[in-house]
Amino acid sequence: MLTEYKHLRMCEIYGAIHLLRMFTKLGEMLQSISTSAKVISSLVNHIEDFVRFMSVNPSFFSLDDYVVASPEYHRRAL
Protein backbone atom coordinates (compact mmCIF):
# COMPACT_ATOMS: atom_id res chain seq x y z
CA MET A 1 0.00 0.00 0.00
CA LEU A 2 2.82 2.41 0.81
CA THR A 3 4.33 1.96 -2.64
CA GLU A 4 0.97 2.72 -4.23
CA TYR A 5 0.49 5.95 -2.26
CA LYS A 6 4.04 7.32 -2.09
CA HIS A 7 2.80 10.90 -2.21
CA LEU A 8 0.86 10.51 1.06
CA ARG A 9 2.23 10.62 4.58
CA MET A 10 1.54 7.52 6.67
CA CYS A 11 -0.79 9.53 8.93
CA GLU A 12 -2.90 10.30 5.85
CA ILE A 13 -3.27 6.58 5.16
CA TYR A 14 -3.48 5.28 8.71
CA GLY A 15 -5.51 7.50 11.02
CA ALA A 16 -6.06 7.75 14.75
CA ILE A 17 -8.04 4.51 14.90
CA HIS A 18 -5.14 2.55 13.43
CA LEU A 19 -2.81 4.12 15.98
CA LEU A 20 -5.08 3.12 18.85
CA ARG A 21 -5.35 -0.40 17.45
CA MET A 22 -1.56 -0.58 17.40
CA PHE A 23 -1.58 0.18 21.12
CA THR A 24 -3.47 -3.07 21.72
CA LYS A 25 -0.47 -4.92 20.26
CA LEU A 26 2.13 -2.77 21.97
CA GLY A 27 2.57 -4.99 25.03
CA GLU A 28 3.50 -7.90 22.80
CA MET A 29 5.81 -5.68 20.76
CA LEU A 30 7.58 -4.34 23.85
CA GLN A 31 8.25 -7.86 25.10
CA SER A 32 10.34 -8.53 22.02
CA ILE A 33 12.78 -5.66 22.61
CA SER A 34 15.69 -5.62 24.98
CA THR A 35 15.67 -2.50 27.13
CA SER A 36 15.55 -1.48 30.76
CA ALA A 37 12.45 -1.48 32.90
CA LYS A 38 12.94 2.26 33.38
CA VAL A 39 12.72 2.89 29.63
CA ILE A 40 9.65 0.67 29.30
CA SER A 41 7.98 2.42 32.25
CA SER A 42 8.65 5.83 30.73
CA LEU A 43 7.30 4.71 27.37
CA VAL A 44 4.16 3.28 28.96
CA ASN A 45 3.59 6.55 30.84
CA HIS A 46 3.81 8.53 27.61
CA ILE A 47 1.46 6.14 25.84
CA GLU A 48 -1.05 6.35 28.69
CA ASP A 49 -0.90 10.16 28.47
CA PHE A 50 -1.51 9.99 24.75
CA VAL A 51 -4.44 7.58 25.12
CA ARG A 52 -5.97 9.90 27.74
CA PHE A 53 -5.53 12.81 25.32
CA MET A 54 -7.29 10.85 22.58
CA SER A 55 -10.14 9.91 24.92
CA VAL A 56 -10.91 13.56 25.72
CA ASN A 57 -10.54 14.65 22.08
CA PRO A 58 -13.05 12.51 20.21
CA SER A 59 -12.96 14.89 17.25
CA PHE A 60 -9.92 12.93 16.07
CA PHE A 61 -12.30 10.07 15.33
CA SER A 62 -14.88 10.40 12.62
CA LEU A 63 -17.32 7.90 11.19
CA ASP A 64 -16.50 9.48 7.84
CA ASP A 65 -13.06 7.89 8.14
CA TYR A 66 -14.61 4.45 7.87
CA VAL A 67 -15.53 2.68 4.71
CA VAL A 68 -16.68 -0.88 4.26
CA ALA A 69 -13.70 -2.82 3.00
CA SER A 70 -14.25 -4.63 -0.26
CA PRO A 71 -14.09 -8.43 -0.51
CA GLU A 72 -10.91 -7.96 -2.57
CA TYR A 73 -9.31 -6.05 0.30
CA HIS A 74 -10.19 -8.84 2.74
CA ARG A 75 -8.73 -11.46 0.41
CA ARG A 76 -5.50 -9.50 0.07
CA ALA A 77 -5.31 -8.81 3.81
CA LEU A 78 -5.36 -12.48 4.67
Q: Of 19, 20, 1, 3, whose CA–CA distance to 11 is shortest?
A: 19
Is the whole-model pTM more than 0.75? no
Check pLDDT > 80 for residue 64: no
Query: pLDDT tens-digit profile of 2-46?
Result: 688 889 888 788 877 788 788 888 888 888 888 888 998 898 899
**How many whole angstroms separate alpha carbon 11 and alpha carbon 41?**
26
pLDDT-based confidence at 66, cuts 50/70/90? Answer: confident
> How many distinct structural domains can be found in the chain?
1
Pick from 64, 60, 52, 59: which is nearest to 17 by CA? 60
Q: Specify the length of the chain in residues.
A: 78
Higher pLDDT, 78 or 35: 35
41-60: average pLDDT: 88
Instruction: Tell me, rounded to whole angstroms, the distance of Cα 17 from its chain centroid.
Output: 6
For residue 39, the enclosing domain spans 2-77
